Chain A
Amino acid sequence: MIRPVLRAGAWPAVVGVSGVAVVVGGCGAAFPAAATVLLPICFVLLAAAAAFTLDEPASLVVDVTPTGPVRRTGIRAVALMAPLTAGAVVMLAAAVRGLALPWGAAGLALAGNVLLGFAAACVVRTRTGEPGAVVGTAVVLVLMAPALVPHVARWVRTFPAPGAGGLSSDTVWWTVLAVCAVAVAVSVGGRNLSPWMSTVPISRRRRSYPTVQPP
């Protein structure tokens, strides 16, 4: 069961976007002056890669199989190793190059970025079989907001760069981690989401199908 579920994953998208992130982050490690700009972009790309881990083109069939969403999502979560490993490689390269960054906070930012992409994908997966593109775009727009909109940068920081103002990145990412954990638990648990989230959620549709219980 594990191998077919993993094999059906959107690996080209996850690995491809993670690869682009490694290139961008590698440039950040190679040019320390640009690290505080390029490493956040690398992390945003890794969040987008995480958003593709739950893509399931055959969702109409897969969603009515006896394998529940908890198990399917758990197996698919293995694919998160790709963006997490890519991020760890970039951070290692930056550390080897002698970059002076708070590595604990940077690691937390990496985990937060990846989990945010995954949690958003979990929530949207209850509505559509391939949430990657929409969630990836949304996550990119949200996470890039501090870099694109000057006012947002004054309020929050999504990367532990020295000298910036606003809410510290640690506070932001601990909060995000907590919210994401709840969002994943709720969406995977098959509970109905708020009415505005969906008109016909898959979890509700699934109940109308006769499902075969495993022996």
Chain B
Amino acid sequence: MTATLEVGRPEAVARRATLVPLAARELRRFVLNPVFLFAVVMTMWVAWSRAGAAVTEIDEVNGYPAVFLGGFGMMAAYWLTRSMRASEPVAGVTPVTRPARTAALCWVAIVPFLCGILALLGFLRTYPLGDAAYGPFSPSARIAVLVGQIVVPSLGGPLLGVALGRWVRFPGAAFVLFLVIFGWVELVTILTISRPDSAPIAVLRLFSPFAFFTLHADAGVTAWRGSPWFFIGWQLALCAIAVLVALLRGAEGRVRARIIRALTVAGAAAVILLVLAAAGGFTHAVTA
């Protein structure tokens, strides 16, 4: 036991010593990526230009950080991951394994995640939690809605981009996936407008990395069914799945077996959290 620990500790230190410079290098490349820079500028511009505008419900404005930091961040991370393909014959013979390089790539998601937190703080300054635009949600649920719509997509998008870049060879995969997710969110939102109390449609609406929770009508702001807190859990499970799927590429032996085991656990957790997200919260649409 002692011997194992003694051997294990220097290995862990060595792994960290390799990961940190790799992650720092990937971070620098990601931050300088024109698509990501464009996403940051657009997020700031939309937030600034809509600061004084009257908003009837929060979903009018809080989708933009998810689109720019999450969606465009996914494209940037995908390109970053794919850009290493050409040098794979050289990089592949270095002592650093591919999962270690993938882990370093996954660390770049910290940047859009921090940008998402800043966007959330800016959003809370413009639209305080007491604002009527949040509808009938409790203060804690309002925070959950904002975190699930602004912060977590900013983290998950780039992680999905890394997973996609590791597994898919088609160079246009990122924008195709972006458009498919965008179309799916629009479709299920429109279906929810026509049948707000339907449980299967609520599951479909939440079966997505991003979901709307409110709608403005003549009677006021309507909150749709579903638990925003469990939705965050579902989103985080998706993030974990994205990281594990990315790490699986090139993993061998015991590491591969452990990743597959973790993937099974994360998949089961995701299904449970999706069910809880659809079953929890309001059990029918509530207008305030």
Q: A-side interface residues toward B, CB under 8 Å? A: 12-13, 16-17, 20, 24, 27, 31, 33-34, 37-38, 41, 44-45, 48, 52, 130, 132-133, 136-137, 140-141, 144, 147-151
Contact partner of B172 (CB less than 8 A), chosen from A13, A37, A144, A148, is A13
Indicate if the CB atoms of A48 and B172 lie closer than 8 Å: yes
B175 to chain A: closest residue by CB: A140
Taken together as a complex, chains A and B put the C-alpha atoms of A17 and B177 apart, in Å, by: 10
Question: In the complex, what distance in Å separates the CA atom of A139 from the CA atom of B190?
Answer: 26
B179 nearest CB neighbor, chain A only: A41
* B186, A13: Cβ atoms closer than 8 Å: no
Q: How far is the CA of A16 from the CA of B172 in the complex (A)?
A: 10
Known contacts being A31-B191, A137-B75, is A132 close to B172, with CB within 8 Å? yes
Contacts of A20 in B (CB 8 A): 176, 179-180
The verdict on A31 contacting B179 (CB below 8 Å), with A13-B172, A137-B75 known, is: no
Q: Of all chain B residues, which has the CB nearest A143?
A: B179
Proximity string of chain B (168-211) to chain A, C-beta cutoff 8 Å, 1 when within and 0 when not: 00111011101110110011001101100000000000000000
Count how many chain B residues have C-beta atoms less than 8 Å from C-beta atoms of the other chain: 26
Across the interface, do B176 and A48 meet the contact criterion of CB distance under 8 Å? yes
With a cutoff of 8 Å between Cβ atoms, the chain B residues found around residue A151 in the complex are 49
Chain B interface SS verdict (over half): helix
Q: Assuming the A-B contacts A137-B75, A137-B175, A140-B179, are A13 and B170 also in contact, with contact meaning beta carbons closer than 8 angstroms in the complex?
A: yes
In the bound complex, residues from chain A placing their C-beta under 8 Å from that of B262 are: none
Q: Least Cβ distance of A58 to chain B in Å?
A: 16
Answer whether A48 and B175 are a contact pair too, CB < 8 Å, given A31-B190, A34-B186, A37-B186.
yes
B182 to A137, Cβ gap below 8 A? no
Chain A residue, CB-CB nearest to B188: A34
Q: Check if A37 sits within 8 Å of B67, measured CB to CB.
A: no
Q: Is the CB of A24 within 8 A of B180?
A: yes
Q: Is B100 an interface residue (CB 8 A)?
A: no
Contact yes or no, B171 A133, CB < 8 A: yes
Contacts of B193 in A (CB 8 A): 33
A153 to chain B, nearest CB (A): 12
Question: Cβ of A44 and Cβ of B179 under 8 Å apart?
Answer: yes
* Minimum distance in angstroms from A48 CB to a CB of chain B: 6
Query: A20 CA to B174 CA in the complex, in Å?
Result: 13
Contact pick for A52, options B68, B172, B180, B183, CB 8 Å: B172
30 A-B pairs with CB atoms under 8 Å apart are: A13-B170, A13-B172, A20-B176, A20-B180, A24-B179, A24-B180, A31-B190, A31-B191, A37-B186, A37-B190, A38-B186, A41-B179, A41-B182, A41-B186, A44-B179, A45-B176, A130-B171, A132-B171, A132-B172, A136-B172, A136-B175, A137-B35, A137-B75, A140-B175, A140-B179, A144-B179, A148-B64, A148-B67, A150-B46, A150-B50
Which one of A27, A133, A147 lies within 8 Å of B187 (CB-CB)? Answer: A27
Q: Report yes or no: A38 in contact with B178, Cβ–Cβ below 8 A.
A: no
- Measured between beta carbons, the chain B residues less than 8 angstroms from A34 are 186-187, 190-191
**Which B residues are CB-close (under 8 A) to A149?**
42, 46
